[in-house]
Structure 1
Amino acid sequence: MPRAGAAQAASSEVGDLRLERGDDGLYLSANLQFELPELAEDALQKGIPMFFVADAQVLRDRWYWSDRQVAETTRYFRLSYQPLTRRWRLNISSTPFTNSGLGVVLGQNFDNYADALSSIQRFSRWKIAERDVIESDAVHTVNFRFRLDISQLPRPFQIGAVGRSGWNLLVSRSQRLGAEPAK
């Protein structure tokens, strides 16, 4: 059964997005539902790492002007397959990946592709804003976006991927965070 890029884009969605006010900030939890584009999955199987970016932007609603951005955070993912060991490796970082090897990166190993992809699709209590920027009496909007980062692919893939729907993966959703009830 062939998979079309357009059909995949239509089935990509944020299944469950929860916002939680904590004592020290605003947390986001989400379950993404998507399948990797066939071209990206094929490249992964050949040992070429794929890069993903998750963005969360918090806007304070204003009636007199455009909404004001109060917080923005980004998380970077690198998923790779090691053909010799037949293991999957997922690296998660708060900064873009570079070849310098510097920075704080969380690394996890998986025995199969399904487990590695499932780990990417779950966000649990990701801190997206500090407590002092979220006003308790104001309405805020959170814009969440998850995408395949083609700019981090090797140069030959970047050239071939431009304008091709087989490399597109974008999952996004916006949700309002109401004012806290008065105590």
Structure 2
Amino acid sequence: MTTTVSITHCWTKRRPEPARALAWLRAALLCLLLGWALPAPAQVPGDVVQMQLERSEEGLLLSASLNFELPELVEDALRKGIPMYFTTEAEVLRERWYWSDKTVAQAHRYLRLSYQPLTRRWRLQVASAPFTNAGLGVALAQHFDDYDEALAAMQRIGRWKIAEPSELDSGVGHVVQLRFRVDMSQLPRPLQIGALGPRSGWNLLVARSQRLPAEHPAP
């Protein structure tokens, strides 16, 4: 595996109307190439095989190992040169015995996976903001020679900060909900329409909840 790390700003440039129309036409043609007239397979399952929560001076850190395979339609789109987007979400809820749990923190990681046919390499970008938002956040880019290596990198989460120290009550328990999914909202509009209509073959959701016990000061 050859890994190259670079920092790039996530931004988009508004295209002139003719160029935008041409991009929409290309996306629509790609919809036809993906064979959406065929019945879509069921949602691809996945699970979180390991999840660890760590309190530190920095805040609450989450590490996890995911186990999933990309849906066939998603992998097919990637190999046709269409970048695919994914979102990892973490929600921290404060336990309340007298009412429903209260959300005290939320964190998101955005991933963009693409295949470069000319070099036959895979590129994985990870950012703190959606890639469709101009000028927001930075993206960490890694390059892989093999699809399986790129997929394995997507399945690892290491010491991800999901809450500030001030957002956690040391004397109360919390519940952390972790979700990983395909993010259709960042695809070109024609692809969104086709995938979010009667199609379920794009769906991928990996989720797990874990309790963080209350932390009591030592006597």
Deviation at 1:61, TM superposition (A): 0.5
Residue 167 of structure 1 aligns to a residue in which SS? coil
Question: Would the alpha carbon gap of residues 132 and 82 (structure 1) be closer, same or farther in structure 2, given more than 3 Å must change?
Answer: same
Deviation at 1:100, TM superposition (A): 4.2
Residue 8 of structure 1 aligns to a residue in which SS? coil
Question: Would the alpha carbon gap of residues 141 and 102 (structure 1) be closer, same or farther in structure 2, given more than 3 Å must change?
Answer: closer
Tell me which structure has the larger Cα radius of gyration.
2
Matched, 1:173 2:205: no
Aligned to 1:117: 151
Instruction: Extract unaligned runs of 5+ from structure 2.
Output: 1-39
Q: Within 2, Cα distance between the matches of 1:99 and 1:176?
A: 33
Deviation readout 1:81-111 (Å, 9 max, x if unpaired): 0001111111110000027465311111111
- What TM-score do the two structures reach when normalised by structure 1? 0.92
Instruction: Extract unaligned runs of 5+ from structure 1.
Output: none
Report the AA paired with residue 190 of structure 2: P
| Alignment coverage as a number of residue pairs | 178
Q: How does 1:25-174 map to 2 (within 5 A)?
A: 25-98=59-132, 100=134, 103-162=137-196, 163-174=198-209
Report the AA paired with residue 6 of structure 1: A
The percent identity for this pair of structures is 62
- RMSD after superposition: 1.6
Kindly indicate whether the alpha-carbon contact (under 8 Å) linking 1:77 and 1:90 is maintained by their aligned counterparts in 2.
yes
Kindly indicate whether the alpha-carbon contact (under 8 Å) linking 2:126 and 2:140 is maintained by their aligned counterparts in 1.
yes
Q: Within 2, Cα distance between the matches of 1:39 and 1:101?
A: 30
Report the AA paired with residue 177 of structure 1: L
Question: Would the alpha carbon gap of residues 99 and 88 (structure 1) be closer, same or farther in structure 2, given more than 3 Å must change?
Answer: farther
- What TM-score do the two structures reach when normalised by structure 2? 0.77
Deviation readout 1:33-84 (Å, 9 max, x if unpaired): 0000000000000110000000001010011222111110101000000001
Report the AA paired with residue 44 of structure 2: Q
Q: Within 1, Cα distance between the matches of 2:137 and 2:188?
A: 21
Question: Would the alpha carbon gap of residues 63 and 98 (structure 1) be closer, same or farther in structure 2, given more than 3 Å must change?
Answer: same
Deviation at 1:142, TM superposition (A): 0.4
Q: Within 1, Cα distance between the matches of 2:51 and 2:133?
A: 33
